[in-house]
Amino acid sequence: MRKTLRINGSNEIGKTVEKSLDEYFRHLDGEPPHGIYDMVITHVERAMISSVMDRVGGNQTQAADMLGLNRSTLRSKLTKYGIR
């Protein structure tokens, strides 16, 4: 039996990613998929960091704490994704 990871009592994030991937595969129009892992991780990471930064009003110390990152890593990711 497979154990389902639950975040705040549900697995909505995983379901959303699955739904998005299903849509992505439907729209490939016969083209083979490439680089799916990096594509998903990049999009999810950017959205997560942006959301957390909005939630903390741009406070990098609080955002780093919420994300479980050190501030230097967070700053690097903010630059990478063009998030202010």
Ordered by start, the domain boundaries in the chain are 12-81
The pLDDT assigned to 8 comes to 58
For the domain 12-81, what is the CATH superfamily, name and number?
Answer: Homeodomain-like (1.10.10.60)
Instruction: Check pLDDT > 90 for residue 48.
Output: yes
Q: What percent of the chain has pLDDT over 70?
A: 88
Q: How high is the pLDDT of residue 5?
A: 57
Residues facing 7 on adjacent strands: 10
> How many whole angstroms from its chain centre is CA 65?
16
How many helices (H) and strands (E) in the chain?
4, 0
* Per-residue pLDDT band at 84 (split at 50, 70, 90): confident
Give, in order, the Cα–Cα distances in Å from 46 to each of 32, 51, 79.
25, 9, 11
Single pTM value for the model: 0.79
pLDDT class for 15, splitting at 50, 70, 90?
Answer: very high
Comparing CA positions, the residue from 34, 33, 66 lying closest to residue 49 is 66
